């Protein structure tokens, strides 16, 4: 009887180690094999959780609060599904993306393995300090992936990201320290009944510290300064992994705290979060509209789209809001991965990273442009994509509680997304001033991007199952 | 009486910490940081945490200090632009920081509510845990999963450094004065013996794999600094195997124990032996990793 | 006031000092020093607060041990990046993020 919960963590650790031992530049097939197995495990877990409720595993047999517990409810299982669903196509994409002697690809596989292990471990951990360790594992892996093999800009971006992520986890750790001081445990399940509305000031400060640190790691406005250079400067598969998955991890943690141990304290800040989310949507979209470089544009789009996630906080009393948030995470994860993958192909083919240089791309790379377009459909929130489903749910939940302003912001965000996305597509449909010699791009890259983008749209048709899964507690 | 000592120690910590950041000369700042680390080790001793004190002195002050000094040696030729900090931003941050400190300090002085006391279950299960030192029991048994992930983080750091540094030529180690070399040669066996002792002692008194590994790594760094051990280039297969051996053993044992019903669930009669096995493998690998953190970085010094 | 609480208070100050340092200082090496101060501050709070009636609590001690190792891992990575940046640009500070 294989326990998918535990193997989703052990397996990536195993193949990452194997990939490292195999040596520099090796490990692609190990990774792809491992990720395929993980995808299967994630579906097995989703089946079990959907049928039988939350899955639990007490590591060491001790049980909280002495030991560390792993727990997978609907929300965690959904995030695990998202991670494996995005990582596998990206791995196949990355295999063709990195040429044999590319310094960025030398240690890509073991680093990615450790990143995925960290993410998987994070989504199922039910222990606040254990979460800190997984945060560091994923965060440092992400920084390394951004910096690998890069020039001055990439290294500077990686350093900026590193400092931001370290301050974020530092604040989170201080919060955990205060909570342990107040209650004597860091187990989420044990803390749940202990934290009440008349918790001491210490716990309030701890909550604020933890959420602030996690906001910094999610690049929520105004803490977003590190994201555009990091996601815009990294190699395309790395940007895809980061935008689709890593930033969602810290958002998931805010949700987990909000719905879990700190549910008596945090909802006070719901409208503050929504306000910052709205600011992120407008600021990110504005910068995307004005961006000159293609990957920078896509990175700013991430800043904007993350804002949607924070709009749901005032709505969480209504059950549909959580499902809306997860659907948005999925929609953005798949679409942004596809978009970065497409951008990577475009940049490889045209040899440069500017929007203006895309002229004539539609003739040479129709599949890639289609992928970009499909991703755009999801990001704009057009039916039948999962992005539409997510926005629809947010608007529905907002109107049900009378908060029409949130609905307006969501709609406005979709319009703004259309502006910057059409900018790219229009440029690509222009005739090139002089016919450029097309750099040959491996098929796997184009179709990898297409697969992700198409998945983001098709998910809209099967969204109900996902939402039912999320509802399991 | 001891409170006066604690007060002085706390003040010394704060002062050295502050001076680390504000002293104009960077090399002084780094040395002050090492001093801070040693004072911190004292503080851990005062807080009845000798395990932490050992680790702080060896890893926090020792290895980190060595890394920083080595970096300083290379980077001191940088053109240091004068700080262009906007005065307004500076003011805001300092004001916010001060406010935060005051608010939190006040909150700390409030009486704390009745808490869960984990010392009770730790002591209650200590016999079945396989070791008799509570901290080791927590580290390798009750919360061994944290330790597993932490080793992954260390491995990751090594990988990251390899990925960032890329391929460079190995600088031939500068040979130091023969007396220094002799000293290093004399010191190394003692360090190894001490490390083995710490590893074995960790089961029933402060010590353990991390402290032992830090000592071994320090020996390696020492040998490198006097020119007896070259820096590392991209690790070859044997070295890669050595680097992952500890983690691999830990992972294998953890997974194998799944048959007992849960990850890392040691059967009480074999717990002590398994933990010793894991710690031994970890000591070797961690020593290689910690040494590697230094030796890989130091290889790209330009001989000029 | 117990010794534990005293060191916890010192930890709070160190934490604030560290964060301020990372945010305000330009020199990369000093920022790395600052982030280490921040981490040490958090560790002091963790162990200091958990010390009830002078008897040590092994759980936070193990946590801090883990934290120290993670901190040195991050420091090594930060130093590798700083050295690479210096090798490429000759400067020991983050350049202004020139957008586009």
Higher per-residue pLDDT: B264 or A131? A131
Least confident segment among A353-367, A401-415, A443-457, B117-131 = A353-367
Tokens of B29: 């700042």
Count CB neighbours of A198 within 10 A: 8
What's the average model confidence in pLDDT over A161-166?
96
Percentage above 70 pLDDT, chain A: 98
Kindly state whether A310 is in contact with chain B, defined as any CB-CB distance less than 8 angstroms.
no
ipTM of the complex, rounded to two decimals = 0.96
How many angstroms separate the CA of residue C35 from the nearest CA in chain A? 7
Within a domain: residue C28? yes
Q: Are A35 and A91 in contact (CB under 8 A)?
A: yes
Q: Cβ of B10 and C10 within 8 Å?
A: yes
Q: Cβ of B30 and C76 within 8 Å?
A: no
Kindly state whether A58 is in contact with chain B, defined as any CB-CB distance less than 8 angstroms.
yes
Nearest of C29, C18, C19, C23 to residue C92 by alpha carbon: C29
Which chains share 3+ C-beta pairs under 8 angstroms with C?
Answer: A, B
Cα within 13 Å of Cα(A195), Cβ side: 30
What's the average model confidence in pLDDT over C45-58?
86
Is the confidence at residue B255, as pLDDT, over 50? Answer: yes
pLDDT, averaged across chain A: 91
Least confident segment among A54-58, B109-113, B215-219, C17-21 = B109-113
Q: Are A93 and A341 in contact (CB under 8 A)?
A: yes
Q: Decide: helix, strand or coil at residue C52.
A: strand
How far out from the chain centre does Cα A379 lie? 14
H or E element: which one contains A68? Answer: strand A68-72
Within a domain: residue A400? yes
What's the average model confidence in pLDDT over A216-245?
93
Please report the pLDDT score of residue B303 as a whole number: 35
Least confident segment among A204-208, A444-448, B56-60, B213-217 = A444-448
What residues make up the domain containing A426?
Answer: 280-473
Least confident segment among A332-336, B165-169, C88-92 = B165-169
Tokens of C73: 């891992």
Q: What DSSP assignment string belongs to B283-297?
A: HHHHHHHHHHHHHHH
The chain A residues in contact with chain C (CB within 8 A) are 129, 132-133, 136, 140, 143-144, 147, 151-152, 155-160, 162-163, 166-167, 170-171, 173-174, 176-178, 180-182, 184, 225, 228-229, 287, 291-293, 296
pLDDT tens-digit map of B56-92: 999 999 899 999 998 888 877 655 555 556 788 889 9
Q: Cβ of A107 and B163 within 8 Å?
A: yes
How many angstroms separate the CA of residue B55 from the nearest CA in chain C? 7
Within a domain: residue C94? no
Q: Are C12 and B104 in contact (CB under 8 A)?
A: yes
Q: Cβ of A183 and B113 within 8 Å?
A: yes
pLDDT tens-digit map of A36-79: 999 999 999 999 998 888 899 999 888 888 999 999 999 999 99
Q: Helices in B125-205 by DSSP H: which ranges?
A: 126-129, 134-137, 144-165, 178-201
> CA-CA distances (angstroms) from residue A251 to A275, A306, A342, B17?
16, 9, 25, 33
Please report the pLDDT score of residue B173 as a whole number: 65
What's the average model confidence in pLDDT over B152-169?
88
Is the confidence at residue A469, as pLDDT, over 90? Answer: no
pLDDT, averaged across chain B: 88
What's the average model confidence in pLDDT over A202-218?
94
Percentage above 90 pLDDT, chain A: 65
Strands (E), A298-405: none
Higher per-residue pLDDT: B167 or A5? A5
What's the average model confidence in pLDDT over C21-43?
94
Kindly state whether C89 is in contact with chain B, defined as any CB-CB distance less than 8 angstroms.
no
> CA-CA distances (angstroms) from residue B128 to B125, B131, B266, B272, B291?
6, 8, 9, 9, 34
Higher per-residue pLDDT: C99 or B222? B222
Is the confidence at residue C92, as pLDDT, over 60? Answer: yes
pLDDT band, very low/low/confident/very high, at C29 (cuts 50, 70, 90): very high
Q: Which residues contact B246 (CB under 8 A, 6 or more apart)?
A: B151, B278, B281, B282, B283, B284, B285, B286
What's the average model confidence in pLDDT over B196-210?
90
Tokens of C75: 């420091």
CATH code for the domain of C68: 1.10.287.3510
Kindly state whether B97 is in contact with chain A, defined as any CB-CB distance less than 8 angstroms.
no
d(CA A149, CA A61): 43
d(CA A383, CA A465): 17
Nearest of B287, B279, B285, B298 to residue B240 by alpha carbon: B285
d(CA C60, CA A100): 46
Q: Are A121 and A71 in contact (CB under 8 A)?
A: no
The DSSP code for A119 is H
Within a domain: residue C42? yes
Q: Cβ of B48 and C64 within 8 Å?
A: no
- The number of domains in chain C is 1
> Looking at the whole model, is its pTM more than 0.90?
yes
Count CB neighbours of A402 within 10 A: 8
Is the confidence at residue A431, as pLDDT, over 80? Answer: no
Q: What is the CA radius of gyration of chain C?
A: 17
Q: Decide: helix, strand or coil at residue C92.
A: coil
What residues make up the domain containing C51?
Answer: 3-89
pLDDT band, very low/low/confident/very high, at A320 (cuts 50, 70, 90): confident
Q: Decide: helix, strand or coil at residue A331.
A: helix
Contacts of C33 in chain B (CB under 8 A): 20-21, 29-30, 33, 68
Interface test with B, best of A63, A65, A67 (most B CBs within 10 A): A67
Is the confidence at residue B134, as pLDDT, over 60? Answer: yes
Interface test with C, best of B66, B87, B157 (most C CBs within 10 A): B157
Nearest of C6, C2, C8 to residue C64 by alpha carbon: C8
pLDDT band, very low/low/confident/very high, at A231 (cuts 50, 70, 90): very high
> 115-144 in A: which are within 8 Å (CB) of B?
117-118, 121, 129-130, 133-134, 136-137, 140-141, 143-144
Is the confidence at residue B263, as pLDDT, over 70? Answer: yes
Interface test with A, best of B163, B247, B268 (most A CBs within 10 A): B163
Is the confidence at residue A414, as pLDDT, over 80? Answer: yes
Q: Helices in A125-246 by DSSP H: which ranges?
A: 128-147, 152-183, 188-191, 201-218, 227-233, 236-241
pLDDT band, very low/low/confident/very high, at C99 (cuts 50, 70, 90): low
What's the average model confidence in pLDDT over A309-326?
89
Is the confidence at residue A463, as pLDDT, over 90? Answer: no
Is the confidence at residue A437, as pLDDT, over 70? Answer: no
Look at the block and give the residue holding tokens 């555009």.
A228
- The number of domains in chain A is 1
Within a domain: residue A404? yes
Tokens of B277: 């096995």
Contacts of A191 in chain B (CB under 8 A): none
Q: Cβ of B159 and A114 within 8 Å?
A: yes
Is the confidence at residue B220, as pLDDT, over 70? Answer: yes
Length of chain C: 100
Please report the pLDDT score of residue B186 as a whole number: 92
Please report the pLDDT score of residue B299 as a whole number: 63
Please report the pLDDT score of residue B110 as a whole number: 79
Beta bridge mates, A58: A69
Please report the pLDDT score of residue B302 as a whole number: 45
Q: Cβ of B146 and A133 within 8 Å?
A: yes
Please report the pLDDT score of residue B78 as a whole number: 59
Is the confidence at residue A385, as pLDDT, over 60? Answer: yes
> CA-CA distances (angstroms) from residue B130 to A65, B49, B135, B212, B256?
20, 21, 12, 19, 17
d(CA B35, CA B17): 9
Q: Cβ of B97 and C20 within 8 Å?
A: yes
Kindly state whether C10 is in contact with chain B, defined as any CB-CB distance less than 8 angstroms.
yes
d(CA A447, CA A228): 26
Contacts of C38 in chain A (CB under 8 A): 166-167, 170
Is the confidence at residue A175, as pLDDT, over 90? Answer: yes
d(CA B171, CA B227): 11
d(CA A354, CA B199): 56
The DSSP code for B133 is -
d(CA C17, CA C44): 14
Kindly state whether B256 is in contact with chain A, defined as any CB-CB distance less than 8 angstroms.
no
Is the confidence at residue A389, as pLDDT, over 70? Answer: yes
Please report the pLDDT score of residue B178 as a whole number: 87
Please report the pLDDT score of residue A329 as a whole number: 93
Nearest to C37 among B20, B83, B119 (CB): B20
Please report the pLDDT score of residue A306 as a whole number: 94
Percentage above 90 pLDDT, chain B: 56
d(CA B131, CA B144): 13
Q: What is the CA radius of gyration of chain B?
A: 22
Q: Are A306 and A333 in contact (CB under 8 A)?
A: no
d(CA A276, CA B112): 33
Q: Cβ of A180 and C97 within 8 Å?
A: no
Please report the pLDDT score of residue A166 as a whole number: 97
d(CA B130, CA B275): 7
How many angstroms separate the CA of residue C99 from the nearest CA in chain B? 19
What's the average model confidence in pLDDT over B152-178?
83
Within a domain: residue C70? yes
Within a domain: residue A37? no
Q: Which residues contact C80 (CB under 8 A, 6 or more apart)?
A: B160, B161, B164, B165, B297
Q: What DSSP assignment string belongs to B193-204?
A: HHHHHHHHHTTT
């Amino acid at each position: 009887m294989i326990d998918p919960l535990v193997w989703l963590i052990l397996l990536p650790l195993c193949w990452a180690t194997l990939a490292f031992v195999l040596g520099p530049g090796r490990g692609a097939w190990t990774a792809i094999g491992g990720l395929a197995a993980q995808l299967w495990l994630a579906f097995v877990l989703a089946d079990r959780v959907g049928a039988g409720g939350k899955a639990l595993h007490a590591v060491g047999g001790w049980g909280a609060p002495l030991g560390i517990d792993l727990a997978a409810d609907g929300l965690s299982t959904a995030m695990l599904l998202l991670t494996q669903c995005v990582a596998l196509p990206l791995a196949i994409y990355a295999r063709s993306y990195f040429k044999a002697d590319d310094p960025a690809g030398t240690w890509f596989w073991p680093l990615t393995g450790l990143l995925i292990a960290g993410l998987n471990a994070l989504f199922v951990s039910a222990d606040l300090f254990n979460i800190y360790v997984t945060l560091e594992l994923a965060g440092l892996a992400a920084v390394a992936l951004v910096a690998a093999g890069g020039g001055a800009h990439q290294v500077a971006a990686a350093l900026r990201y590193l400092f931001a992520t370290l301050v974020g986890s530092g604040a989170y750790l201080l919060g955990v320290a205060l909570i342990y001081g107040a209650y004597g445990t860091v187990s989420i399940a044990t803390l749940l009944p202990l934290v009440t509305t008349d918790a001491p000031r210490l716990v309030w400060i701890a909550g604020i510290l933890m959420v602030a640190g996690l906001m910094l790691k999610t690049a929520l406005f105004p803490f977003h300064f590190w994201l555009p250079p990091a996601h815009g400067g990294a190699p395309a598969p790395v940007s895809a992994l980061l935008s689709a998955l890593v930033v969602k991890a810290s958002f998931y943690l805010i949700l987990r705290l909000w719905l879990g141990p700190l549910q008596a304290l945090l909802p006070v800040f719901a409208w503050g979060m929504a306000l910052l989310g709205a600011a992120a949507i407008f600021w990110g979209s504005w910068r995307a509209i004005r961006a000159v470089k293609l990957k920078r544009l896509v990175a700013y789009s991430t800043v904007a789209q993350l804002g949607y996630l924070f709009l749901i906080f005032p709505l969480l009393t209504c059950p549909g809001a959580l499902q809306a948030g997860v659907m948005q995470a999925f929609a953005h994860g798949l679409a942004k991965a596809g978009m970065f993958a497409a951008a990577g192909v475009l940049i490889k083919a045209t040899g440069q990273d500017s929007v203006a240089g895309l002229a004539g791309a539609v003739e040479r790379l129709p599949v890639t442009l289609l992928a970009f377009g499909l991703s755009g459909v999801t990001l704009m929130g057009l039916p039948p994509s999962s992005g539409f489903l997510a926005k629809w749910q947010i608007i529905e939940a907002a109107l049900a509680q009378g908060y029409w302003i949130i609905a307006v912001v969501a709609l406005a965000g979709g319009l703004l997304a259309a502006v910057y996305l059409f900018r790219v597509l229009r440029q690509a449909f222009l005739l090139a001033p002089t016919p450029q010699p097309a750099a040959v791009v491996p098929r796997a890259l184009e179709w990898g991007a297409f697969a992700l983008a198409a998945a983001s749209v098709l998910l809209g048709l099967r969204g109900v199952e996902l939402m039912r899964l999320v509802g399991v507690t | 009486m001891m409170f006066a000592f604690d007060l002085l120690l706390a003040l010394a910590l704060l002062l050295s910490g502050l001076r680390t950041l504000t002293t104009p000369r960077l090399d002084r700042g780094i040395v002050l940081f090492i001093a801070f680390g040693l004072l911190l080790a004292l503080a851990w001793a005062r807080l009845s945490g000798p395990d932490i004190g050992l680790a702080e002195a060896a890893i926090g002050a020792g290895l980190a200090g060595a890394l920083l000094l080595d970096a300083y040696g290379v980077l001191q030729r940088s053109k240091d632009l004068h700080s262009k900090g906007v005065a307004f931003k500076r003011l805001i941050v300092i004001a916010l920081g001060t406010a935060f400190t005051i608010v939190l300090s006040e909150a700390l002085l409030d009486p704390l509510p009745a808490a869960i006391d984990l010392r009770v279950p730790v002591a209650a299960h200590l016999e079945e845990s396989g070791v008799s030192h509570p901290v080791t029991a927590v580290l390798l048994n009750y919360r061994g999963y944290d330790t597993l992930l932490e080793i992954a983080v260390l491995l990751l750091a090594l990988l990251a450094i390899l990925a960032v540094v890329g391929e460079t030529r190995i600088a031939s180690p500068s040979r130091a004065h023969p007396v220094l070399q002799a000293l290093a040669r004399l010191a190394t066996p003692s360090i190894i013996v001490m490390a083995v002792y710490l590893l074995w002692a960790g089961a029933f008194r402060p010590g353990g794999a991390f402290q032992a590994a830090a000592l071994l790594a320090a020996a390696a760094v020492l040998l490198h600094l006097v020119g007896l051990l070259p820096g590392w280039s991209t690790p070859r297969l044997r070295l890669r195997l050595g680097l992952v051996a500890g983690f691999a053993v830990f992972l294998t044992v953890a997974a194998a124990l799944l048959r007992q019903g849960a990850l890392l669930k040691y059967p009480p009669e074999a717990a002590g032996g398994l933990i010793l096995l894991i710690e031994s493998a970890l000591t070797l690998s961690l020593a290689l990793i910690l040494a590697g953190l230094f030796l890989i970085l130091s290889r790209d010094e330009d001989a000029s | 006031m117990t010794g534990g609480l005293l060191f916890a208070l010192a930890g709070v100050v160190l934490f604030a000092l560290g964060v301020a340092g990372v945010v305000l200082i330009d020199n990369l090496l000093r920022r790395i020093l600052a982030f280490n101060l921040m981490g040490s501050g958090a560790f002091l709070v963790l162990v200091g607060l958990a010390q009830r009636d002078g008897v040590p609590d092994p759980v936070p001690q193990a946590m801090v041990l883990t934290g120290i190792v993670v901190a040195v891992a991050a420091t090594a990575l930060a130093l590798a990046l700083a050295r690479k940046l210096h090798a490429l640009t000759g400067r020991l500070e983050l350049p202004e993020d020139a957008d586009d």
